[in-house]
Structure 1
Amino acid sequence: MTTDYSVLIDEETWAFIERTNSFYPPDAVNLSVEQQRDVYNTMCRAFFAGYPESVSSADRFIDARDRKIPIRIYEKRDSDPEAVCLYFHGGGFVVGGLDSHDDVCAEFCEATGFRIISVDYRLAPEHLHPAAFRDCLAAFEYVASTSDLPLVLCGDSAGGNLAAAVSHHVRLHDRAPIGQVLIYPGLGGAADQGSYLTHAEAPMLTTRDTLYYANLRGGGFNWSTDPRFAPLNATDFSGLPDTIIISAECDPLSDDGRHYRDKILAAGGKAIWNNEPGLVHAYLRARHSVERARASFRRITAAVHLLGQGRWPGQL
């Protein structure tokens, strides 16, 4: 099944795709994990947009039982935060860290005035599932025990998966999140149907890529029935926080967002799914160069802001 991306994707977005691809060598499929990280980090540095003048950050560590988890805390100067947003970065559970999404988190802070806490969770394949989940859960427990502010979870791609998994796990907690915003999340949908077929060869992320990352994260074991690994395959969607999912139309993961919304609504919860027309996976890095991505980023920050204030946007 083929999709005509020359019609769906505009010139600005193609320029973003081409710039991103320019960092990857022709034999990128054969790169080692360490080489993948080097390329990804180089690319992220090239796209780095700096901090808004009003925002500063500080690096800290969370003391977990057997490890220290690095975090980066963003604050807007001369502003008392109304809420905390715990942010989990994307990168297929294999690449990324505090620096890869540094400017994104700083701009979230500027747009919302919230305290943003980015989590440097452990990566595969050195640390297999559920290591990343456990680090993100520890970050939630840290915030829950050190702050009385309302909490919103947010993440992109792999980070959206982790946010949904943590939300599910802590929904009965006294300090459960009041909202979650998932940005083009991969939630464990079936790879042989829907958008996994229609967008199997999408620019920026293919269905084959999603299977590669899932296999690497799971160490070859089938974790698909574990909601910490595949939140979409949980058996109970009741009690989840108010949820906004933002997907990209030209992305094999787009149906994961739709199905997740539908399951929350069927369980009596509140959820909105936006499928951003003509956009591709990882378009957060295009927010300064692509008008569609810029508009979507405004919707995303508005969603985080409203949920953190205990308000429901109705639509985005």
Structure 2
Amino acid sequence: MTDYKELIDAETWAFIEKTNSYYPPDTIDYTIEQQRGVYDRMCREFFAGYPDGVTAETTTIKTSDHAIPVRIYRKAGEQPNALVLYFHGGGFILGGLDSHDDVCAELCGRTGYEVVSVDYRLAPEHRHPAAFEDAMAAFHWVVSHYQLPILLVGDSAGGNLAAAVAHATRTHTHRAIGQLLIYPGLGGDQSKGSYVKHAEAPMLTMRDLIFYKNIRTGEEERIGDPTVAPLLDRDFRNLPPTVVITAECDPLSSDGEAYRDRILAAGGKAFWREEEGLVHGYLRARHSVTRARESFARIADAVGLLGRKEWPIEWRLP
């Protein structure tokens, strides 16, 4: 049994307790509608506002049969040299433009890059591959509307989508110049590593992960499908330079290590960092927990470095 009293500091425990007060650990037993209401309220409670000079515009991407809302963040006085295409977390059933609004605004403010946040379709109303198709549509939209190099960024479920898009577009003329994945679920081996050691971690458990997966796919087994689980891809060549940041106390952490190793084995550039004592969802703690604040600074710095094509990144992150 993992002793989280030793691994997690007082600041992080305070964040966990605050989160649980708005989003109790048994929320997955609620209806989907109830879960969304609880999650949205929690996100509002943690909302930190926009940095000075950052503005946002909400618009839509029109596809043949539906529209995908997107929110575009810009920083006054900046001439961005890259664009961040951001995919939010939420287990493929929760979240949207508002849930990660301040995170995207702060990434824009810290880097000066334009950020496009994507409100992809959610399960169970729209099961896989709906979210992936929307992520791909967003990629092609930014390619057609911008001359800027593209960075793929996402947290949790959004990290999965960012990686899936990176795999699917690696031969595209305007393929991404980098990807940054924040505690992503990439479909790793659940019989070992953090999946076992942190199966009952605060903020995210194996029970949660199985629930989200079953809702996303309708319990359909999709063996070997990298659009569901990028770690199932057979080819890791020609992926963009990759940074993966995970939380130590999270069943998904081993996915970051495995993904880095697969890319390096294929001759690519990849860096993985596991953040000591942090938990899944710690982006919302970036203003209240020292470790989370430092990690978010590293994340923003890494996005900046990827946009400037500076490597190796591990030499430049404190």
Q: Which residue is 1:39 aligned to? A: 38
Shift of 1:313: 4.1
Match of 2:188 in 1: 189
Task: State the Cα distance separating 1:200 from its structure 2 match.
Answer: 0.3
How well do the aligned residues superpose, as a CA RMSD in angstroms?
0.9
1:130 maps to what in 2?
Answer: 129
Counterpart Cα distance in 2 of 1:27 and 1:277: 26
AA aligned to 2:34 is Q
Q: What is the deviation of 1:314?
A: 3.1
Measured after TM superposition, the shift of residue 28 of structure 1 is 2.8
In the comparison of the two structures, how many residue pairs are matched?
315
Q: Match for residue 203 of structure 1?
A: 202
Q: Post-superposition shift, 1:148?
A: 1.3
Q: CA deviation at 1:24?
A: 3.1
Give the aligned partner of residue 223 of structure 1.
222
Say if 1:26 and 1:255 are closer, same or farther in 2 by CA, change over 3 A: closer
Structure-1 separation of matches of 2:299 and 2:25: 34
Give the Cα–Cα distance (whole angstroms) in 2 for the partners of residues 175 and 145 of structure 1: 10
Residue 268 of structure 2 aligns to a residue in which SS? coil
In structure 2, what is the equivalent of residue 305 of structure 1? 304
Paired with 1:289 and 1:110, the residues of 2 have a C-alpha distance of 19
The unaligned stretches of length 5 or more in structure 2 are: none
Unaligned runs of 5+ in 1: none
Q: What do residues 277-302 of structure 1 show as CA deviations (whole Å, max 9, x unaligned)?
A: 00000000000000000000000001
Q: 1:104 to 1:196 in 2, by over 3 A?
A: same
- Residue 245 of structure 2 is aligned to residue 246 of structure 1: yes
CA contact (8 A) 2:151 2:307 kept: yes
In the alignment, residue 125 of structure 2 is paired with which amino acid? E
Shift of 1:29: 3.8
User: Where in structure 2 are the equivalents of 1:146-185 lying within 5 Å?
Assistant: 146-185=145-184
User: Measured at CA, do residues 25 and 161 of structure 1 come closer, stay the same or move farther in structure 2, by a change above 3 Å?
Assistant: closer
SS at match of 1:201: coil
Q: Is the 8 A contact 1:188 1:224 kept in 2?
A: no
- Aligned residues of 1:48 and 1:103 also touching (Cα < 8 A): yes
The superposition leaves residues 157-180 of structure 1 with CA deviations (integer Å, 9 ceiling, x where unpaired) of 000000000000000000000000
Deviation per residue, 1:207-232 (Å, 9 max, x gap)? 11111101110011012411000001
Is 2:33 the partner of 1:61?
A: no
Tell me which moved more, 19-28 or 152-161. Answer: 19-28
1:90-101 equivalences under 5 Å are 90-101=89-100
C-alpha distance in structure 1 between counterparts of 2:177 and 2:25, whole Å:
45
List per-residue Cα deviations over 1:70-120 (Å, max 9, x = no partner). 000000011111110000000000100000000000000000000000000
In 1, Cα distance between equivalents of 2:133 and 2:83: 20
Moved more, 18-27 or 98-107: 18-27
- How far, CA to CA, are the matches of 1:75 and 1:237 in structure 2? 33
- Matches of 2:107 and 2:310, distance apart in 1: 17
Measure the CA separation in 1 of the matches of 2:211 and 2:103: 26
Q: Deviations over 1:56-83 (max 9, x none)?
A: 0000101112111000000001111111
- Output the TM-score relative to the length of structure 1: 0.98
Mapped to 1, the partners of 2:141 and 2:168 lie a distance apart of 15
Rounded Cα–Cα distance in structure 2 between residues aligned with 1:176 and 1:4: 43
Distance 2:115 2:25 in 1: 37
Separation in 2 of the partners of 1:40 and 1:100? 8
Counterpart residue number, 1:284: 283
Match of 2:117 in 1: 118
> Are the aligned partners of 1:10 and 1:278 in contact in 2 as well (CA < 8 Å)?
yes
Contact 1:306 1:313 (8 Å CA) reproduced: no
Aligned equivalents of 1:114 and 1:180: distance in 2? 14
CA pair 8-76 structure 1, distance change in 2 beyond 3 A: same
